[in-house]
Amino acid sequence: MTTQQAMITIFMVALGTIITRFLPFILFPAGRPTPKYIDYLGKLLAPAVFGLLVVYCLKNVSFLQGSRGVPELIGVAATAGLHLWKRKMLLSVAGGTAVYMLLVQLVF
Amino acid sequence: MSLSVRKKALLAAFPHTIPVMTGYLFLGMTYGVFMRASGFPAWYPMVTSLSVFAGAMEFVTVSLLMGPFNPVQALAMALMVNARHLFYGLAMLKKYAGAGVKKLYLIFGLTDETFSVNCAADAPEGVDKHLFMFFITLLDHFYWFAGASLGGLFGSLISFSTEGIDFVMTAMFVVIFLENWLKEKNHMSSLIGLGLSALCLIVFGADGFIIPAMLAILGMLTLMRKYLERGGDAA
């Protein structure tokens, strides 16, 4: 990707983000009720998108070649385990990443 | 507006932002280091942290920048990843009403963390509430920018190997997913997101599964609306 293409990509990401933040204020001026379908999506879209993002992060992991996704599985398990144990976001993220880095640098 | 009015609002806002400061400095630095480790110059994380200011999406942007040039996918990705902001906005319609020009920046900076702070914190007596929320947003934006810049500028000085640091994004989303899972009563939407995305990944491959997965999720949630609304209080 050229620098120009990269800047266009960043611009599109910024634009998309700005749209999601401004749209409610444009569509629903203060005081008017919001459509039920929007309320419904508001509650239910977020968890599904989080699931999509987890899959997105692991999209290039091959379970048939190389390390067969073993460091990724251990890294995810360490992150989730730490989070279930202490429930501190930064600790879980830092700990899980450290485990994964040690695995790919020293073991696999 | 006098200087002391501003100073008062800034001093009142600062304590509320301390938890966000820790998180944003750490995650921002990791983001800067990650971007350097992915082969981008230091000014890239500065530009994205200032202009996008949406942590999770900025990590995703790094993989977008490393893939083939596809601005439509970048826009679609930003819309979907940040779709939750729509609902932060809905929740802040009343709180941000009447903030004047400051409202534009308040809305621009409505990240997950800023939303939760501005949602929960009330300005003390005698402090302009819109100015108070403006400074919370501004401080958060500054922490994120400072973290990303430090990581970008000094990331290359780190003497240990950063191989595998890209996992920070996976870990972050695993934690967000899990945290939500622990809070929600009905896991159907979480499972739909994981399941349909995995299915689309198998069918369409790593480079083209995002948009089909998004459409499949929207379609499935719409089809299941009656059931899920009756099944009650998800999320």
* Domain spans of chain B, in order of start: 3-157, 167-230
- Report the complex ipTM: 0.84
- Lowest model confidence (mean pLDDT) among A21-30, A79-88, B138-147: A21-30
Residues of B whose CB is below 8 A from A33: none
| A residues 26-85 lying closer than 8 A (beta carbon) to B | 28-31, 34, 37-60, 71-72, 75-76, 79-80, 83-84
pLDDT surpasses 60 at B89 = yes
B134 pLDDT tier (thresholds 50, 70, 90): very high
Domain ranges of chain A: 1-29
Task: Return the DSSP state at B68.
Answer: -
Distance CA(B33)–CA(B196), nearest Å, equals: 32
Give per-residue pLDDT as tens, A45-89.
778 888 988 998 898 888 887 778 899 999 999 999 999 999 987
Tokens of B134: 């403006």
Read off the tokens for B104: 């534009």
Q: Using the beta-carbon criterion (under 8 Å), do A48 and B71 form an inter-chain contact?
A: no
CB B201 within 8 A of CB A58: no
Contact A24 B89 (CB under 8 A): yes
> Above 90 in pLDDT, residue B207?
no
Name the average pLDDT for chain A: 88
Angle between helices B112-120 and B18-37 (to 10 degrees): 180
In tens, the pLDDT along B30-79 reads: 999 999 989 999 999 999 999 999 988 999 999 999 999 999 999 999 99
Q: What pLDDT shows up at residue A42?
A: 67
Are B167 and A101 an interchain contact pair (Cβ–Cβ within 8 Å)? yes
B87·A47 Cβ contact <8 A: no
| Per-residue pLDDT at A95 | 94
> In the prediction, which pLDDT does B153 show?
94
Q: What backbone torsions phi and psi does residue A48 show, to the nearest 5 degrees?
A: -65, -40
The pLDDT score that the predictor gives to residue B235 is 44
Distance CA B223, CA B82 (A): 22
Tokens 């999406």 belong to residue: B57
Q: What was the pLDDT predicted at B234?
A: 44
For B140: left if phi > 0, alpha if psi spans -120 to 50, otherwise beta; the answer is alpha
**Average pLDDT score over residue span B198-225:** 90
